[in-house]
């Protein structure tokens, strides 16, 4: 096996020097306090497609960014209620259903008398209703969280930027995406420099 020369590129990579579409403008900050101030200004400037990347949770940053609360809890509550309803109906049907559809089809579950309890023995159903409520809440919480975050995602333009690697270590980044209606390369770059960033650069969309 021969070693690959540094110039060898896989076919999917664009050749060096060709201009790639720009994903966005990235500003690098050194402290949480700086990015907090900067985030307030970016929000005030009316940008919509932008995000902060920090190495650890910075309390109050989401407030500074003007992010609205997620509706995930409401969806999870709905999923939980669905689980409750499904759990009840499932057991009511299988244990105690017995009805005809338009006098043609006789629909029946599996009515078994167990230790003399009535067929509609709700206390005995509670564990299953409870488990289904928990199951649907937990699954929907995880899955909806992933969906609403656009995950799973195998690659992201920021991950191929070398400077951005320090977002997991000791630097704080704000990235304004080029799809933002207010994005104008020269203006956004000047704006981000005025925020007091240590470094501003365009991130290629690769």
Binding footprint of another protein on the chain (CB under 8 A): 57, 59-60, 73, 77, 115-116, 123-124, 126-127
How far apart (Å, rounded) are the C-alpha atoms in residues 52 and 48? 12
- By beta-carbon proximity to another protein, the closer residue of 59 and 153 is 59
Distance of CA 164 to CAs 27, 42, 168, 175, 203, Å?
Answer: 10, 19, 8, 10, 10
Least distance in angstroms from the C-beta of 124 to another protein: 6
**Residue 53, φ and ψ in degrees, nearest 5:** -125, 120
Q: At what angle do helices 122-148 and 72-96 cross, to 10 degrees?
A: 150
Report the run of H or E that residue 91 belongs to, with start and end: helix 72-96
Task: Please report how many Cα atoms fall inside a 13 Å half-sphere around the Cα of residue 45, on the Cβ side.
Answer: 22
Least distance in angstroms from the C-beta of 59 to another protein: 5
- By beta-carbon proximity to another protein, the closer residue of 134 and 159 is 134
How far apart (Å, rounded) are the C-alpha atoms in residues 86 and 92? 10
Give me 149's structure tokens. Answer: 């975050």
Least distance in angstroms from the C-beta of 73 to another protein: 7
- By beta-carbon proximity to another protein, the closer residue of 126 and 190 is 126
- By beta-carbon proximity to another protein, the closer residue of 124 and 202 is 124
- By beta-carbon proximity to another protein, the closer residue of 15 and 123 is 123
3-class state of residue 149 by DSSP: coil
Least distance in angstroms from the C-beta of 195 to another protein: 24
Least distance in angstroms from the C-beta of 156 to another protein: 23
């Amino acid at each position: 096996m021969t070693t690959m020369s540094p110039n060898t590129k896989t076919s999917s990579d664009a050749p060096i020097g060709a201009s790639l579409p720009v994903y966005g403008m990235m500003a690098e900050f050194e402290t949480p306090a700086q990015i907090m101030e900067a985030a307030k200004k970016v929000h005030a400037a009316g940008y919509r497609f932008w995000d902060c990347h920090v190495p650890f949770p910075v309390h109050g940053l989401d407030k500074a960014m003007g992010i609205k609360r997620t509706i995930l809890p409401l969806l999870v509550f709905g999923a939980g209620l669905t689980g409750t309803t499904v759990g009840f109906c499932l057991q009511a049907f299988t244990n105690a259903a017995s009805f005809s559809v338009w006098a043609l089809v006789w629909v029946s579950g599996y009515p078994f008398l167990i230790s003399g309890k009535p067929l509609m023995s709700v206390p005995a159903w509670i564990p299953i209703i409870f488990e289904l409520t928990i199951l649907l809440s937990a699954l929907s919480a995880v899955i909806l969280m992933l969906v609403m975050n656009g995950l799973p995602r195998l690659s992201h333009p920021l991950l191929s930027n070398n400077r951005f690697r320090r977002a997991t270590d000791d630097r704080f980044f704000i990235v304004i995406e080029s799809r933002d209606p207010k994005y104008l390369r020269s203006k956004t770059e000047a704006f981000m420099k005025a925020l007091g960033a240590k470094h501003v650069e365009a991130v290629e969309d690769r």
